[in-house]
Amino acid sequence: MKTVISEPLYKGVDEYFNQLFLQNDVIPAKVLEHCKNKEMPAINVAPNQGKLLNFLVKMKGAKRILEIGTLGAYSTVWMALALPENGRLITLDFDENYIKVARESIQIAGLQDKVEIRVGLAADSLAQMVQDNEAPFDFVFIDADKENNPVYLEYALKLSRPGTIIVFDNVVRQAKILDTSDKADNIRGLRRSFEEMAVNPRLDVTAFQTLGLKGWDGLAIALVQ
């Protein structure tokens, strides 16, 4: 007998794992609750995805993180908690309301000394970082407007070095990426960034689907050579 994979079922699996394995992650839970209370859009990473980012930062031994797209700083906090004492995370956003909530989230987490929010359009902030010869990053998380993913990829590479890990969120979009007739800017941006990654000799890339609290989506992970 086949199991019908319904939304309550796959979301329930995530909730089951989160209750088991994330019960000691009190700080991210407080930040997520704060974001909900501030009525932030529910487009943040899921808790288990946040912990995956935390693990990746730890496994990499990253000291410098770049995040493109802050929202309420939920993913920011997960990653910053994995940094060593002398670690630094720079996160980029332009929305004044998001930035206000993000600053509060960072304060709740006690991470003011490790996290810097740079305000403005991400492409402008990235261009300025390149111009200023910003030191390379060990880990980059891209979770912003998908139509500009090719631009963010270009700058991420300029701000990377061999061994840098670049993670892209929301890369499946309920399989809309397979529809070549879909002219939506976000889908076109995703497909263009995939095509560029596939032929870039500096990148080794994998991508996979996810199904859970955030629906049917996925992640792409690139390792800079």
Alpha carbon distance 213, 200 (integer Å) = 33
The residues that bridge with 88 in the sheet, in sequence order, are 64
Read off the pLDDT band of 2 (50, 70, 90).
confident
The one-letter amino acid code at 69 reads: G
Alpha carbon distance 80, 52 (integer Å) = 13
Q: What is the mean pLDDT of residues 161-176?
A: 97
Does 192 score more than 80 pLDDT?
yes
Whole-model pTM? 0.96
Place of tokens 């955030």: 214
Does 141 score more than 90 pLDDT?
yes
pLDDT value for 109? 99
pLDDT value for 4? 79
Alpha carbon distance 11, 214 (integer Å) = 8
pLDDT value for 1? 64
Two tokens, residue 138: 């060990």
Domains of the chain: 7-224 (3.40.50.150)
The residue ranking higher by pLDDT, 5 or 153, is: 153
Q: What is the mean pLDDT of the chain?
A: 97
pLDDT value for 3? 78
Nearest Cα to Cα of residue 97 among 66, 70, 115: 70
Cα angle vertex 177, ends 79, 222, to 5°?
A: 35
Neighbour order of strands in the sheet with 88-93: 115-119, 88-93, 64-68, 139-142, 165-169, 215-224, 203-212
| DSSP helix, strand, coil percent of the chain (3-state; round to 5) | 45, 20, 35
φ, ψ dihedrals at 82, nearest 5°: -90, -5
Q: Residue 39: which residues within 8 A CB-CB, separation 6 or more?
A: none
